[in-house]
Structures are given as structure tokens and as C-alpha cells.
Amino acid sequence: MNEMTTIKTSPKDWETDQEVRWCPGCGDYAILKAVQRTMPELGVRPENTVFISGIGCSSRFPYYMETYGFHTIHGRAPAVATGVKLANPELDVWIITGDGDALSIGGNHTMHILRRNLDCQILLFNNEIYGLTKGQYSPTSRVGTRSPSTPFGSVDRPATPCSFALGSGARFVARGIDTHKSLPSVLKAAHAHKGASFVEIYQNCIVYNDDVFAPFTEKKAAPEGQIWVEHGSPVLFAGGTKGLALDHQNLRLHVVDVADGDWQAAGVIVHDETNRGLAQMLIDYAPGEGGPVVLGVIYNSPRPTFDSAVIEQNEAAAKGKKPDLQSLISKGQTWQVTKEPHAL
Amino acid sequence: MASAARELTPREASAHPAPEAVVVRFAGDSGDGMQLTGGQFTLSTALAGNDLSTFPDFPAEIRAPQGTTFGVSAFQINFGSTAIETAGDEPDVLIAMNPAALKTNSPSLKAGGLIIADEGEFTARNLAKAGYPDGVNPLHDGSLAKWQVISFNISQLTMDAVKPFGLGNKEALRCKNMWTLGLALWMFDRPREPIVDWLKGKFSKAPVLADANIAALNAGHAYGETAEIGGPMKQHHIDPAPAEPGLYRTVTGAESISFGLVAGAQLAGLPMFFGGYPITPASAILHHLSRLKEFGVTTFQAEDEIAAIASAIGASYAGSLGVTSSSGPGVALKGEAMGLAIMTELPLVIVNSQRGGPSTGLPTKTEQSDLYQAVYGRNGDAPMPVIAARSPADAFECAIEACRIATQFMTPVMLLTDGYIANAAEPWKVPDMSGYEPFPVSFKTDLPAEGEVLKPYARDEKLARPWIKPGTPGLLHRIGGIEKQVDTGHIDYAPANHQRMTDIRKDKVDGIANHIPDQEIELGNATGKLVIVGWGSTFGPIHQAVRRARRKGLDVSHVHIRHIWPMPKNLGDLLRGFDKIIVPEMNTGQLKTVLRDQFLVDAKPLNKVSGQPFRIAEIEAAIEAALA
Ligand code: SF4
């Protein structure tokens, strides 16, 4: 994100006149609403905002945002975004991608944009399936997923998006849920972080992978299934009756019961979003299908961005030099021919 | 080629050809510094005012085993007092630093040519490594009888010369190439001063090494002067070549393309963004541009070829001139992204330094086999302009032309060059930049009129769409790879719309033919019995062959095509004015096929894919056969 004079907009200002073409009931609608609700709170200008996507259901997103938008090719949105940002660092760049787009065909670019730390927000809609191509299993599908390409169940192990991001050197890693009310606050934090902000959003594909996240997203499962972390606060869930503590012997997180709100006595840890080791443990904390799953801003430890480093170096290298092309091409080992071509 | 192509006067044509050019080939082990030796010899030759052309011929392996035939690195230079357009067919002089270099390079040496060999390296071990049978030493067994052979112990002479500097054996032997260069400078009456200056600069941090190398250089020179070698070893003087007055420098294709891209961006009034990924022989362009930041150039070494082009497309979208470069295999990877640039109609320059293919092919050898890939190699109906450079100096003009077409027509443009052009050096008359017509870009900023909708895909008279940068208030819109509605650019799959958009994209690129120069004839008449049609780096051998044939009175002309797609409007009629058409190409007949398809002419192929440039004699023979 950039320091700009903030302006006033309403969610309506961020909607386009284009007909939204996702399946009715798709989680993408909720994410679109959450983003459109978040933008006014950021105080940013639509014309300075660019949404860049790859290919997949999620990648239709830019067409529905009243900003500049570029629907690119499968997996390559991070590369296109890198060119956009380096060419004009004033732009506020958002990348919209999915599990197949970001972790399969575009895995290489996702890794490199994160390690370089380009200043942008990356929203990965994880529905654990290929929706647009009609339901094949994806790199985040669980073992045993039955799909048109895996009629007997998938046999390969899934990737963990946030773990991939952290391993690639991401300095901001967060998780959210499409329909959850906290999604805008996660998006705001992602925008506030200067650098590549990686946000995995569990997104329900109602057509090809319905309810795959229901064990922890459903209303009655949520208290036991979701652990929302916040920097400086104890890691509690189930209405404060449970928390995560560190098993010092085995260096592992485990669930402890909290009696009468005395989380300290129960040994519950306090979330430190700048602690990378803790972030790794929180990301990996997934004891079963029903959760609990750690959500919110898991890691946030900024360092200088790629774009600022490139610009700094460009400026330093150009300092005091004139862009005089004539003198550039006239340099080196030259010689002067003075005579007219001699007649034979 | 420093001098402009010109027709020979009758007097010239009838004159007895004087010994006006010499071809020298330096060959040694990869570790012997032959490219450096050749490069410095080139420099002193340029400074002596000769026209010249070079051909660096090095192995694909970075560190091939020492002494083996596949570790041989060679550098050929053709220089003379007349226009030089090729690196020469057959060397007159071969300097062989070891048995492997002799073995691999002597077959191409002109009969009666001179071999200078470093006897000190012709040990039993090195002879075995080069694959000579036990007990055979070509220097002594008479197998080199058709050439003149001089051999002496260059290794020992170098060791003696640098003794005062107390170097280790290995370091001392490294000065061998400078000794050899000193001898070559004496042979061709070239000044040593520029080399001495260069050595002082190169070894400024290790003055002992500078002194040792200078001593070796002087010793080699003195050896020529004083040693009584006699016979074939004599001093030659080659007069300066006639050239247009002006400032000259040597330039390689990689340098001139870099300069041309910078010039093109300046003439368009744009910053340049270059996305690249290392690949032989294209990397040199990335290296050159990364040093030119004061010209508003941002270079980005991407994670792969696809990211390199995708980032360049992103930069173009944001208002820079996006450029990417690669060689065949990398260009193949960029194919889908080129389609995106075609569909979104964004300017982009893609430089392909062609090499031998398919697949990894011959990374360090030259070929012209990516013409189909350039013209046709994308999914869908994806027309894209293609321009081909003929020489290192020409590459400058072609790069500017590519930038002009890309920005004026809102389209990606492919610029074809090859490994030969990229690496070869030739004298270049430094152009006067004020003589170039600027083609400034104007971004769209005005809002649609009251009641009108924004039309990011509206068309100007050239069918180009407006370039709207993100950040522009009031012109928010979305683009992408999905088919777009005429004018508005909204997603539209309707059959009639796709037909129209496909037609518009084709018409736009076809229409570029109205904005490029007519095809000219390089040499010969505008109609006649035979025309030789070339493109790219075959210019030199074709031109010389046609010139020689015309000198013999044969009715043959030379046409060399820069604009491969779309082709110049008059090309079809021009070709139809000849009875026969021969198309020499370093591929199996790609331009030939395009010419047949476009103009229904009976173009005949003349092909060579050995990784080596055409010889003049090969083309001359084809001309004679066609007119017999
Ligand atoms: S296929 Fe699934 S992810 Fe795609 S739009 Fe439909 S519901 Fe959404």
C-alpha cells in the first residue's frame, strides 16, 4: 500500500456495471462484497488501484471491481503485477488468485513474488478444487478427493498455502473465510503491511466441492473449529474456554482448557505476529478435519520491499549521469575517418 | 560493413583482385583466452582503419576438459581495405595453440595458407587428448603438406619473456595469448599501444600481471621483427578501407540492440522496462541494459522466461515500453504471454537471438530457424509484426523500428537476430541521433463526452487502440485475455464479435505494410534472370556472392528483407520480375515457404544448418548452377 491522500468512497463506488458470472451461492460473492466494503475504509483512490488476476473462477474478480484491472493468463498474475508495480510504484496492486492458479501452474511466480517482497496484496481463494474446468482435484485437495480426474480418489498430498508462503519468505501471512465477518479486518491489515501480503481465504465452491470447509466454518462448529489470533492477545477459542499452549518438551502446540478465564494459569500463549517460528506452528496446527484452524494475521514482520529497493538502486546508479544517448554510443574505442572515400 | 552497399564500377569489376583482405583464425583451448586475443586484435584492426567482420566460435561447455577437441575455442576475423561483410570463408592464417585446435580448424584453412603452431603444446599427452594416434605428430608427419607450417615453442618463449616477473608456471603460461597477439600485431603491422593501455586498465589492481602481459606482447612482436623465420612469415600491410567520413566504433549485435532499444524508448518518450531471464546467446542484452539506468531503464531478471515477458507486459500496461529478450527455447515459453499482449493490444518488443534448435539444440551456434515460430508460433489467430536484423550495425536501426511499430500500433513486435549477430563485431559509423524522427506516445487522458461510454478499444486511423495508464482518473476499465467487445472491451463471446475482433487484429497488423518502406534491391537490377532473397545474418555472404557473380557478368540481384511480417507491399511484384528466386537460409526453408504462400512464387531453397554461417562460395556456386 502507499501513503496517499485518503479520499471518501462508498462500497457502491467500487462496483462495476458488469454482470457477475459466478455460480449462485459461490463463496466468491462474499469475498467480493468484503473487498468492496473494505476499500472505502482504506481511503484509497479507485484510479490508483489495480486488480490483477490469473485464470480460474476467482480470477474473474477484476471485472467486478470499479478500478483498473488486468485479467492475465494462468498462473502469471504475480509476474504481470511485478512489471506494473516496478513501472509505477504509486499504484496499489492487488493480486487475485486461486489454489490451482497460485500453487500449481503459477507456483514458481508465487514463490518469487513473496521472496522478493513486492509491495502488493495477494488474495488466494482456496476452494481445494478446479472450478472453472469443472471439478478436477487441485494441489490443495485432501488425499482421497474424488473428482473427474481422480475417480478413485486423489493419492497425492496437498500443499498448505500459508506454509508455502512462509517458506517462500513471505513477511505477511494471514487466513480468512469467505463469509466470515472478520475478513475485512484481515484485508485491512494486509493492505497496511508494506510488502507482499499473503492472504489465504477459504472459499466454498458450492458446485464442485461444497462444504469442504463446513466442519469448521458452520455456525455451530465455528467456536470449536476456529482460532482467531490477534497480536498481543492470548490464543483462545471456544468462547475463551480453550486455548493453545506450548508443549515445551516436544516444541508443539496443544489445546488446553481454560478455567474461569485464567488463561495464564492454563499456560496459553500470547500471539506475537512477528515471531516466525510461532507463525509456522500456528499455520501447521491442524489436528483434524473439524479443526481447530488458526485464522487472522498469523505473521506480520515487514522488511524493505522489492520495488523500493529497485527504485533506490535505479536512482543511485543514475545519479549525476546525463541520459545522453549520443555520447553513450560515441564512447568506447572509436576512430575518426576524415577522408572522402578514395576513388579507385 | 562500414561502407554502404554499392555497385562495382566497370573498372573495379575488371581489375585484377588485389590481396585486399585477410582472414585470420585464432584457435586454442577454452582456457587459452582466444576470444580475448581475437577481441583485442579486432580493436587494433579497427583502429588501423580496416573494414572487418568477426566470428567468435566457442564451445557450449563453460569448462570443457582441457586439450580436447570439444574444448576448442576459436575467433575468426576477416579484415581488409574493401567492404567486408562476412567473417570470411577460409582462413589465410590459422594460429593453433594446441593439437586439438589444429585438428578441428585446419580443414577449413585455405590451401597454401599459413599455420602457426605452438610446438610446446604438441606433447604426447596433448596429441592423445586431441585424438591423434600414438606416435603421430601432425607437425612432423607431412600431413599438413598443403599448407605452410611454422611452429615454435610459444609456451617456452612466453615463459622466458615473463621470467623477470616471478610468476608461477600457470600464471606465466596464461600470458601466451598476449605473446601470440604480439606476433599477430607485427604480422599485420598493427599498433600495440591500445593493447598496452587496455592491459594496464584490466590489471590495474595487479600491476605485475599487467607488466608480464605487456612483456609477453612485446616479446611476440619482437620475435616477428628479429627472428629469422623467413619464408611465409612476413609482414603484411593492409590499407585502410574506404569509408564514409565520420566517427566509427566497433559494435556487437548485443550492444547495438541495447542502444537501439534505448534510442527507441527515447524517441517514443517512454521509460523502458526490460524483463529477462539468462539464456545463451541473449543474456548480453540484459547485461548491457542493466548498466543504463540513467536512461530510464529498469531491468528485471525474472524467475523464468514466462515471468520475464509477463512482467514486461505488466510494465507496458502501466505505461512503460516493455521489452523482453530470449533465444528460441525461451521464446517458446513466452508464446502464451505474446498472445496476451496481442489480445490486450499492448506495446511490447520481444528480441529473439536465434540459435540452433530444436529444443536445447546448439546453444552457442547460429541458425535462422525460428522464423516460423516468430510469424506463426502462437495459438489462435495471433498476428504479430516481425523484423529481422542483418548485421550488428543494422540491429540498431531494427531495434528502433521495433519500438516504433510497437508503440504506434499498440502491438507486440518480434525482433529477430541470431547468435552470429549478437556476438560478432563490426565497425559502425556512429549515427547522429538528431537525424531520427521522434514518435512520441500520447496516453489517453480525456474523459468520454457526456452520454458516451469509455471505449478502450476504439480505433485510430491505423486501427490502434488508445493506451490508457492505470492511475488516470475517470478512465477505469478492465482488460484481459478473453475476447473483448468491439470498442468497449467488455467480455464478449458473441460469434459476430469474435469475427470482427479477429478481423480488426489482422487488419491492424497487415496495415503496418502501409507504414514501412518499400522493399529495395541491395545489388543488381530490379528485374532479371535470378534474385537471391535473404533475411538476417546471411546478408554478408549473399551480398559478396552476388557481387562476385555480377563481376563475372551474371544477371543476378540481391534482395534482403527486414520486414518479415507484414512484408513490404511491393515485394510480390518485385519477386515476380525475376525468372528464378533462390532463398539461402540457415534453416530448412522457412522464408521460402512464407514467400511461396504470400506471393505464389517459385522460390527455391538453399539451406544450411551446420551451426556455421554460409560461405560466399556456397552461394556463388548456387548462383552459377541456377544460371548455367
Ligand atoms: S465453480 Fe465453484 S468456485 Fe467456480 S463459480 Fe461456481 S461455485 Fe464458484
3-state secondary structure A189-238: HHHHCCCEEEEEEECCCCCCCCCCCHHHHCCCCHHHHEEEECCCCECEEC
- Residue B63 C-alpha cell reads as 569448462
Q: How far apart are CA B250 and CA B417, in angstroms?
A: 18
Q: What pLDDT, on the 0 to 100 scale, is given for residue A1?
A: 44
Q: Is the pLDDT of residue B513 over 90?
A: yes
Q: What is the pLDDT of residues B490-502, one digit of tens each?
A: 999 999 999 999 9
More confident site: A190 or B151: A190
In the prediction, which pLDDT does B82 show? 81
pLDDT tens readout for residues B219-235: 999 888 876 555 556 67
State the helix-helix crossing angle for B616-627 and B539-551, rounded to 10 degrees: 50
Grid cell at residue B494: 458473441
The confidence score (pLDDT) of residue B9 equals: 42
pLDDT of residue B425: 83
* Chain position carrying cell 594496464: B200
pLDDT at A223 exceeding the cut of 90? yes
Average pLDDT of chain A, as a whole number: 94
What is the structure's pLDDT at A342? Answer: 42
Confidence at A321, pLDDT banded by 50, 70, 90: very high
Which pLDDT score, from 0 to 100, does residue B188 have?
87
Judge whether B406 and B321 are in contact, CB under 8 Å: yes
Considering only residues 74 to 93 of chain A, which have any Cβ-Cβ distance to chain B shorter than 8 Å? 74, 76, 78-88, 90-91
B340 contacts A52 by C-beta, under 8 angstroms: no
- A191-205, B7-21, B413-427, B468-482: which range is least confident on average? B7-21
Closest CA to B106 of B114, B411, B329: B114
Query: How close, in Å, is residue A29 to chain B by CA atoms?
Result: 19
| Cα distance between residue B101 and residue B59, in whole Å | 12
CA B170 to the chain's CA centroid: 35
Average pLDDT in chain B = 91
Q: Is A281 a residue whose pLDDT tops 60? A: yes
Task: Please indicate whether, in this complex, the C-beta atoms of B470 and A88 are within 8 angstroms of each other.
Answer: yes
DSSP-H helix ranges across B174-319: 176-187, 193-202, 207-226, 253-268, 283-289, 305-317
What amino acid is encoded at A110 in this protein?
Answer: T
Residues 6+ apart with CB under 8 A from A192: A1
ipTM: 0.96
Q: Tell me, what's the pLDDT at B62?
A: 66
Instruction: Round to whole Å and give the CA distance between A240 and A261.
Output: 7
Is B215 in contact with B164 (CB distance < 8 Å)?
yes
The closest of A221, A211, A227, A182 to A27, measured between CA atoms, is A211
**Distance (Å, rounded) from C-alpha B611 to C-alpha B22?**
23
pLDDT in tens, B88-124: 888 999 999 999 999 999 888 888 788 999 999 999 9
Best mutation target, A67, A335, A338, to test chain B (most B CBs within 10 A):
A335
Indicate if the pLDDT at residue B140 is higher than 60.
yes
Taking alpha carbons only, the member of B69, B67, B73, B68 closest to residue B33 is B73
* Interface contacts (A, B; CB < 8 Å): 213
Residue A123 confidence (pLDDT) above 80: yes
C-alpha grid cell, residue B555: 544477371
**What residue spans in chain A does CATH classification 3.40.50.970 cover?**
3-233+272-307
For B479, the enclosing helix (H) or strand (E) is strand B478-480
**CB-based contact A70:B480 (threshold 8 Å):** yes
Q: Is the predicted pLDDT of residue B14 greater than 50, yes or no?
A: no
Class of domain A3-233+272-307: alpha beta
C-alpha cell recorded at residue A269? 500463549
| Cβ proximity of A51 and A86 under 8 Å | no
Q: What is the pLDDT of residue B225?
A: 82
pLDDT at position B237: 73
Q: State residue B232's pLDDT score.
A: 55
- Compute chain A's Rg from CA coordinates: 24
Amino acid at B258: S
pLDDT of residue A174: 98
Q: Is the CB of A42 under 6 A from ligand 1?
A: no
In our burial notation (b when 16+ CB lie closer than 10 A, e otherwise), range A80-92 reads bbbbbbbbbbebb
B71 — pLDDT class (breaks 50, 70, 90): confident
Mean pLDDT of B406-421: 96
What is the average pLDDT across B261-287? Answer: 96
Residue A213 has a pLDDT of 95
pLDDT at B11 over 50: no
What proportion of chain B, given as a percentage, has pLDDT over 90? 72
Amino acid B477: pLDDT: 97
Substitution target in B478, B482, B484, B488 with the highest count of A β-carbons within 10 Å is B478
**pLDDT given for residue A340 in this prediction:** 52
Ligand 1: centre distance to CA A88 (Å): 33
DSSP H or E stretch at residue B124: helix B124-129
Phi, psi for B246 (deg, rounded to 5): 150, -175
Query: How far apart are the CA of A52 and the centre of ligand 1, in A?
Result: 19
Residue nearest to atom 2 of ligand 1 (CA): A205
Percent of chain B with pLDDT over 70: 95
Sheet containing strand B528-535, strands side by side: B556-561, B528-535, B578-585, B603-607
Please give the Cα distance from B179 to A214 (Å, whole number): 79
Lowest mean pLDDT among A101-115, A170-184, B210-224: B210-224
Report, as an integer, the average pLDDT of B179-184.
92
Distance CA A221, CA A211 (A): 12
Q: Which of B288, B294, B436 should we substitute to test contact with A (largest number of A Cβ atoms within 10 Å)?
A: B294
Q: Is the pLDDT of residue B503 over 60?
A: yes
The pLDDT of residue B228: 56
- Counting Cβ atoms within 10 Å, is residue B189 exposed (0-12), middle (13-18) or buried (19+)? exposed
pLDDT of residue A284: 92
pLDDT in tens, A25-61: 999 999 999 999 999 999 999 999 999 999 999 999 9
Q: What residue of A is the nearest CA neighbor of B488? A: A18
| pLDDT value of position A81 | 98
C-alpha of residue B79 to centroid of ligand 1, in Å: 68
Quick check: B412 and B406 in contact, CB under 8 A? yes
List Cα–Cα distances, A256 to A7, A245, A264, A283, A285, in angstroms.
46, 6, 11, 18, 14
pLDDT at A344: 35
Entry field: residues in chain B: 628
Return the pLDDT at B405.
98
Largest separation between any pair of C-alpha atoms in chain B: 93
What does the pLDDT read at residue B145? 82
Atom number, ligand 1, closest to the C-alpha of residue A208: 2
B461: number of CA atoms within 13 Å, CB side?
2
Distance CA B368, CA B359 (A): 14
Q: Please state the pTM of the whole predicted model.
A: 0.89
- How far, in whole angstroms, is CA B20 from its chain's centroid? 24
Q: At what angle do helices B392-409 and B253-268 cross, to 10 degrees?
A: 30
Nearest CA-CA partner of B275 in B318, B326, B345, B329: B326
Average pLDDT estimate for B308-312 = 98
Confidence label for B18 from pLDDT (cuts 50, 70 and 90)? very low
Is pLDDT at B401 greater than 50 in this prediction?
yes
Q: Is the pLDDT of residue A140 over 90?
A: yes
What is the mean pLDDT of the segment spanning B351-374?
A: 94
Joined grid coordinates for residue B387: 523484423
Answer whether A132 touches B (CB < 8 Å): no
Query: Is residue B19's pLDDT more than 70?
Result: no
Whole-number Å distance between alpha carbons of B106 and A93: 61
